[in-house]
Structure formats: C-alpha cells, structure tokens
Structure 1
Amino acid sequence: MTRTTDSLATLRTLDPADSDVDPHTPGARATLERILATDPGQRHDHEPAKARSRRGVRVVAVASATVVTAGTVFVVIPSLTGGDDAFATWTAVPSSVSSEDAADAAGDCRDAQQDGPAQAGGTAPDFSDDLRRAELAIAERRGEWTLVTFAGTGGFSATCITDESAPLFRDWFGSIGAPAAYTAPGPRDVVATDLGAGEADAGELSVAAGIVGSEVTGVSYRSASHGEVVATVSGGRFALWFPGDELDGAGGAGVGLHVTYRDGSTAELRLDLR
C-alpha cells in the first residue's frame, strides 16, 4: 500500500459523522500531520514554491504553504470538512470573546504555531522561545472566525485567524515573526507587524495588525469593498482583517488608517512595513 493510499484510508476513519471521533485528540492531530506530510504537492527543501507566490512576497514550504515578508511568516492550514465558505459570516465590526473561548482559541493557536511555523527550520528563524514567552493581547470574533494575537518583546507577534465552524481540522491563517530592527512606537504612533494579503480555504483575505502607542484607543480602515473595518485594540496591539486581496502589496506601498486617541482627537496615519 502506498503512503497516499494509507493516508486516505486513515482519513476515512475520521468521518465527521462518527460521533466517537474527537478532532482534538493526539491521534487526530497526528493524523493531520501525516496527511500534510504526504501531500504530493508539498516541498520540504525550503525552496520557493511558485504556485502561490505573489508580487512582493516570497512563498516557501514549511509543513504547508507559507508566505514570508518583513520578518513575518504566514501559514495556511486548510480545513478538511465544512467551514464558513467565502467568509459568509464575516463582520466589519468585531465582537468580544468570552474568557473561556479566548483561552481555548489562544491554546489552539499557540499549539499550532509551536508545532509548525515557530520552528520552521532551514533558513527561516526559530520563534519557538518567543512564542512560549508571549502573552495573549487580542481575542476577537467576526462571525464564525476568531482572531487571537500574542505579543512579545522586541516587536514579536503571532496571530491566528480561525474558522470555528469547521467540525474537523479547522481552516486557519496565521502569522508569526519579529522585525529585524524594532523601535517602540511613541504614545500616538502605530507600527505595523502584519500588512498584506493571503489565502485560506474560504478565499483570499487582507490583514493589518501591529503595535500601538499608549494614547491610541481606536483604529479602523476604510475598505473599498467592505466600508469601514474596525480593528480590535488591546494589550498595546491592534488587528483587523477582511475578505479579499485589497491589501496585497500594501506592506511596501503603505495603507491609510484612521486612528482615535484617548483625548477623543483623531488622525489619518500612513502605515507600511518599511
């Protein structure tokens, strides 16, 4: 029996209709790793994978398709069953997450990042120690999707955007990394850690996230397709995302953000990754 056939046979044993299957067990997680490892299109030599490359970014293979830009590694893990197709439930204004759900989402994100992108290997940096020391800064929900962001020293950041509606092996898009040179923002400044576009099972998505000064209480982006997208601002960080590739190339070209300060005043800031 070939490895691919073996993986397909294993996958059939995880039929979501089987109520006895728990996708969070070590066995289910191990099966996911076997499926990813036997993907015939997967590369393990860390050379650029051209199929998903985009202008201004470099795509490499580390356990799954990843995008590396400005010191940040982006990773996409596809769902195998179900999910929120085309981000149908997404909302421009985020909702809060209960402390229990936030803890669960943070634990899943930390585990997923630690098992893969944090220890990318090859020429990619190892962020496993940074991830272990980082603290949860943001937990938000947009429809069926949760976003969590971890914050660490030196501008380190790790984020997961996850479709919570998928019953098995949830679709998620993540980033992890730190800038080569970091200067803490002033009280009314905003510094980008993530800025650009990527792809999940549900389609393309745009992300803007970063570090805010102590006087910044609100951040939003005026999307041509979705109107005003409101960020969550918490723990000295901000994060927003929306469907589509509108921010593709924004890391170099920059993007305008509307910022609100503690005294009620506002400003328009230009944000980029340079």
Structure 2
Amino acid sequence: MKTSRNIDTQLRSMDAAGQVAAPNPGRTQRDLEEILRSRPSSSDRGAGAVDGKTSTSRPNRRRRRTLALGAVAFAATASFLVVPVLSGGDPAFATWTAAPGALIGTERDSAVSDCIRSSKGTGDGMFAGDVDAAEVAIAERRGAWATVVLAGSGGFEATCTTDTTAPWFKKGSIGSVGKPGDGQPLTSRGVRATQLGTGVIADNPLSMASGQVGTDVVAVAYTATTGERITATVSKGQFAFWFPGTELTNSSDQPVPVEVTYSDNTTEIRFLSL
C-alpha cells in the first residue's frame, strides 16, 4: 500500500513548475497521443444544433421546386407567359364535371372573345398578331367553367379557363399564351404537353394539362388518385383537361400518366411532362 509520502513525491514529480531538468520527450509524446485518442463524441459536441443548422440552411431541392410551381401558377414551357389570375363566382368549383360539354351560342362567343382580348394583352401585346391569326381549337365547359384553346402556326397556343357565372367586374382567366420551346412536328400518335401543373383561382387550387396531339389521337383521359376518370377534350390537334386540387403540383418531377386512344381504337398509357 502506498504511503502519503510516496503520493506526495509522485505528485510533485508531475508538477512542471517544480522541474529542474528538461521534460521527458517520450512522456510528452505519450500524453499527446492519449489526448487525441480521447476526442469528445458527437453527442458531447451538440450534434443536434449543428445538424439542425445544416438542414435549414440548405433546404431540399424538390421542396424549392414545388414552391416555385405554386408561385407561377402553372408549370408552363419557358416560352409561355402566365395570364393573370382573377376571381370567379362558382365557389370551390362546385359545378365542375369530369366529362366536358361543348360551349355553344352566346356563351361560346363570350368565352372566345374574352380569351382573345386577355391573350392579346399579355406580354405587352407581343403575341397580338399570333392571336389574330389563330383559330378556336377547343371550346369546352365543365359546369360553370369555360376553357378555350386558340391554336395557330408554329405551335402557337393560348389557353384560358374562366368562370362564366362571375359578374363582369370579376371576369378573368387563368392559362398561358405563347409558343412551345420544342417546335418539332408531332408524329401521328404523338402527345405533347405545353401547359402542365397547378394554379389558383378564386382562392381555390386547380390542376391543368393541355397541349398538342397527332392526327391519330382521338381521346385522352386521366385517372385521378381518387379513382375519378377525367376526360380531356381533343379537337383540331389540341387536348385539354383540368380538375380541382393540387394533384399535378409535382408534374415537373413526376410525369403524368394518361390513357391515349387512337383512331384504330387501340389504347396505351403515355406520360406527359414539360
């Protein structure tokens, strides 16, 4: 058993202040190695705070992209300009229908003229000439809502969706106008989306898809996650469909499957993307 004198001697021998001779280099190296081996663990360094800082300072890329889609209303091609969104008179799309009907008579005339007027005013009138030369490819209704698609040369398109029951001082539309970045002609069975994503009108979100189809395409349909089958209007080389909700928000990351029917009555699943 060690005596107190021996302990005192040992403690004094470890006191650098009391050393006369030079320190032992071997002991110094061993002490350094011992210190390095005993680094504190991550839990000792407050890893939670460090990890939290990293995750907030570098947000997930997909989340940023999703927010951007909401901000611009529609994920349109780069050459398309989004038409300003105004409010309507049919709350929460209460009259919307999955199968479209045809716009006729004065309702059709009014919806077309409204679309022409709003499209010509987009981008300081840069597409006014294209709008004048375009023809009406689609004029559909889903309940109180009218959708018009104008189509012209070089792939020009203008799309407008409007609540026909809104009072005149709240009339407005949501859609796009311009020419797609990819001007290559479609094959006879081709399908090309030029507007695909989600937007908001009258404080209610909607998902929309429209674009061009080849000469052999006679029908396009989309099945929502709820199981509801949504029928597109296909006319004069164009297609269009929309439905309430934000289901197509991530369409830039996740291609949208649609069922395409051809003139020989065959069908296949195709994927829409921008």
Q: Tell me, in whole angstroms, the C-alpha distance in 1 between the residues paired with 2:74 and 2:225.
A: 27
Contact 2:74/2:197, CA 8 A, preserved across alignment: no
Q: Tell me, in whole angstroms, the C-alpha distance in 2 between the residues paired with 1:140 and 1:159.
A: 11
Q: Which residue of 2 aligns with 1:263?
A: 264
CA deviation map 1:155-179 (0-9, x unaligned): 2111110001112322421211212
Contact 1:155/1:193, CA 8 A, preserved across alignment: no
Aligned equivalent of 1:74, options 82, 92, 98: 82
C-alpha distance 132-185 of structure 1, shift in aligned 2 (>3 A): same
C-alpha distance 165-100 of structure 1, shift in aligned 2 (>3 A): closer
Q: Which of structures 1 and 2 has the bigger CA Rg?
A: 2
**Greater helix share, 1 or 2?**
2
Contact 2:134/2:152, CA 8 A, preserved across alignment: yes
Contact 2:115/2:160, CA 8 A, preserved across alignment: yes
Contact 1:56/1:249, CA 8 A, preserved across alignment: no
Q: Tell me, in whole angstroms, the C-alpha distance in 2 between the residues paired with 1:271 and 1:151.
A: 19
Contact 1:67/1:73, CA 8 A, preserved across alignment: no
CA deviation map 1:178-233 (0-9, x unaligned): 12231121111111111111111151111111111101000011111361110000
> TM-score w.r.t. structure 1 length?
0.70
Matched ranges for 1:79-98 at <5 A: 79=87, 83-98=89-104
- Secondary structure of the structure 2 residue equivalent to 1:248: coil
Q: CA RMSD in A?
A: 2.2
Q: Which residue of 1 aligns with 2:146?
A: 146
Matched, 1:103 2:128: no
- Secondary structure of the structure 1 residue equivalent to 2:252: helix
**Greater strand share, 1 or 2?**
1
Q: Tell me, in whole angstroms, the C-alpha distance in 1 between the residues paired with 2:211 and 2:186.
A: 10
Q: Which runs of 5+ in 1 are unaligned?
A: 1-52, 121-125
> TM-score w.r.t. structure 2 length?
0.70
Matched ranges for 1:29-40 at <5 A: none
Following superposition, the deviation at residue 150 of structure 1 comes to 0.4
Q: Which runs of 5+ in 2 are unaligned?
A: 1-64
C-alpha distance 263-68 of structure 1, shift in aligned 2 (>3 A): closer
Structure scoring higher RCO (CA < 8 A, sep ≥ 6) equals 2
- Amino acid corresponding to residue 136 of structure 2 in structure 1: L
Q: Identify the range of structure 1 (163-172 vs 152-161) with the bigger mean alpha-carbon deviation.
A: 163-172
What fraction of aligned residue pairs are identical, expressed as a percent? 41
- Secondary structure of the structure 1 residue equivalent to 2:114: helix
Q: Tell me, in whole angstroms, the C-alpha distance in 1 between the residues paired with 2:223 and 2:185.
A: 26
- Amino acid corresponding to residue 75 of structure 1 in structure 2: V
Q: Which residue of 2 aligns with 1:128?
A: 128
Q: Tell me, in whole angstroms, the C-alpha distance in 1 between the residues paired with 2:76 and 2:260.
A: 27
- Secondary structure of the structure 2 residue equivalent to 1:219: strand
Q: Tell me, in whole angstroms, the C-alpha distance in 1 between the residues paired with 2:269 and 2:129.
A: 36
Contact 2:76/2:196, CA 8 A, preserved across alignment: no
